[in-house]
Amino acid sequence: MFCEVTLPPSTFSIVAYDPATGDLGVAVESKFLAVGAAVPFAQAGVGAVATQAWANTAYGPRALRMLKRGRTPKQAGAQLIASDDRAAQRQFGIVDARGRAFSYTGAECYDWAGGRTGKNFAAQGNILAGAAVVDALVATFDAARGELAERLVAALAAGQAAGGDKRGQESAALLVVRKKGGYGGFNDRYIDLRVDDHPQPIDELKRLLELHHLYLGKTHPSDILPIDAALARELQTLMHARGYYAGARAGVWDAATQKAFREFAGVENVEERLLDGAFIDRVVLNFLRARESGK
């Protein structure tokens, strides 16, 4: 006879706000299946929440409602703690759309457990190799440049390099919200990526983020290329080989060619990068060329 002892999932996360773009996000890694289904919550213009340890998933929606009503992260956190008779087993971080942050670690969370806050972020973790993990999250996030998503994933990677959680790795997730930032501009879910079970989930999350930017990223002005006769002929030839275009490959960017290209782009999942008129996104062109060459 033996008694199996279960532990709550060992998790480290960072919630953050980017005042330059208004983005709010959560990045998390855990020795736990599909951590993205339990830990991250965010609402554009309101805030972001990570609820973990013996996670109470009601904390996310409740905290966001309180932030929307004007409560600070600290006030919202205090109310969550006061209303939960198992608060000592919980851990969570909150940041709002003004950069104010709060992190809580219950006294009964397993060592090492703790968190840090600063302007625009809260970082926390439990069952970690030590405080250095959270310190690495904070230092890397502060030093990183670029979009919030890249900074959050860089922070996760640094936390793992500093020892991560004691029990290893299994899953990771990234959630970033932006007003009308979702597919087609119809919702605020700008980036929602999950690695549910993988031996190196943070590395896989980085790869998925690169694909997200390829397929769904916005065209940079410097990447707008005019479609001249030579480029039109190249695209017509490429589409002809794939069966999307049956017209003359004369280098004329006419209505029939544009219609075929829209269909082709949709099949290749780059429709969010289509440009009006006789222009093409350099990223799309390079991607299509690489696909054709089999790279």
Question: Which pLDDT belongs to residue 3?
Answer: 40
Q: Which two tokens stand for residue 252?
A: 């004329």
Question: Which residues fall within 8 angstroms of residue 29, CB to CB, at 6 or more apart?
Answer: 11, 12, 13, 35, 156, 159, 160, 164, 165, 169, 171, 172, 201, 202
pTM: 0.89
Contact indicator for 147, 109 with CB cutoff of 8 Å: no
Q: Is the pLDDT of residue 4 over 80?
A: no
**Which ranges in the chain are annotated with CATH 3.60.20.10?**
11-216
Q: Does 8 score more than 90 pLDDT?
A: no
Range in 65-74, 155-164, 193-202, 209-218 with the lowest mean pLDDT: 209-218
pLDDT at 9: 63
Architecture of domain 11-216: 4-Layer Sandwich (3.60)
The secondary structure element, H or E, covering residue 229 is helix 229-242
H-assigned helices in 83-216:
131-143, 148-161, 201-216
pLDDT of residue 10: 76
- At residue 165, does pLDDT exceed 80? yes
User: Does the pLDDT value for residue 1 go beyond 70?
Assistant: no
